[in-house]
Amino acid sequence: MKILFLHLSDLHIKSQKAVSKNHIEKILDTLRIYGSFDKLFLIFSGDIAFSGESEQYKAGSSLVAYIFREIKNKNIYTKKIEMVCVPGNHDIEYEISPRSAKELNAIYNDFSYNKHLDEELSKQKNFFEFSKRSKCFCNKSVFDRKLVNVDGFVIEVNMLNSAVFSLMKDEDKGLHYIDQSAINELNTPSGADFVISVMHHAPDWYIDAQKDQIETALLCKSSLIFLGHEHKAGTRNCSYNDKAAAFIHAGGSLCNNSDWTNSEFEVGVLDTQTLEYSTTLFKWNPSELQYEENKGISKKLPSKKSIEKALIVTEE
């Protein structure tokens, strides 16, 4: 079977006017080069909105609806599209209980994160209204998981809410926090045949006490990891203690503050039988008014079933 991942990141939608249907049409036109496929994942790795306002998510919802409708109208893919989305730092309403860098450092120093966690999640209420339509983060938390069965090939999708404890300015690196129970859930096996993980910030945005835990869990469990935030698209292999490497997609910016001039996105295609995986980065060419293939990579991914790891008993 062939599974296609359409990775869109950092949309920063300010209003309905910021949604360019022309660019969406061009994005969907690029999918024709892949022929037929058995499953389509639409992955948003954060910053759907510009400042977390409800009107911005109405525009985001209309964008998603347009993508779904046109994919079917163009006969690109007619089955159910699996949408996956996580929040980014722009998906927060900072006007609700605004926090300074000094206050966040105080929370870090006295390790009172759990005391403020519900307050942080309340700033993402509009994102949660948006995400629950695709059955993501329905419980309004810092971690969510869904299992997607593609004709017997089960994919575990881990979604981390890395945006909590973000600040309006980038003064929060190394200060993000996730409840320990969420890390435990991430580590819990599901029995799936294949694992992908999606988050906005990379693990090094978390506090030192959790960074290694999260990075280890992600790299050891996942075959594919989708990231956002950096506005610089790229791919790399990364492993932990010589374990099988995870393939990481760092998404570019689809639209920066209503400006589509430097728009870019990624497409990945997985063969479930061979685990051969190929990616293509598409960048907008302003003079030709179309997206063009910029670079791509192909490799065979390791098999990482989400199962309980057997203990190794030594003579000692």
Q: Is 85 exposed, middle or buried (0-12, 13-18, 19+ CB in 10 A)?
A: buried
pLDDT for 17 equals 87
Tell whether the model's pLDDT for residue 310 goes beyond 80.
no
pLDDT for 308 equals 81
**3-state secondary structure at position 277:** strand
Higher pLDDT, 132 or 237: 132
The CA angle 249-56-124, to the nearest 5 degrees, is 70
Six-digit token string for 311: 């203990």
Mean per-residue pLDDT of the chain? 92
What is residue 76's DSSP assignment?
S
pLDDT for 219 equals 92
- Nearest CA to 206 among 158, 247, 172? 172
User: Can you tell me the distance from the alpha carbon of 60 to that of 265, in angstroms, rounded to the nearest whole number?
Assistant: 17
Please compute the mean of the pLDDT values over residues 186-210 and round it to a whole number. Answer: 95
pLDDT for 222 equals 94
% residues pLDDT > 70 (the chain): 99
Tell whether the model's pLDDT for residue 231 goes beyond 90.
no
Q: Please, are residues 91 and 51 in contact by the beta-carbon 8 Å criterion?
A: no
Please compute the mean of the pLDDT values over residues 10-17 and round it to a whole number. Answer: 91
Name the pLDDT band for 97 (thresholds 50, 70, 90): confident
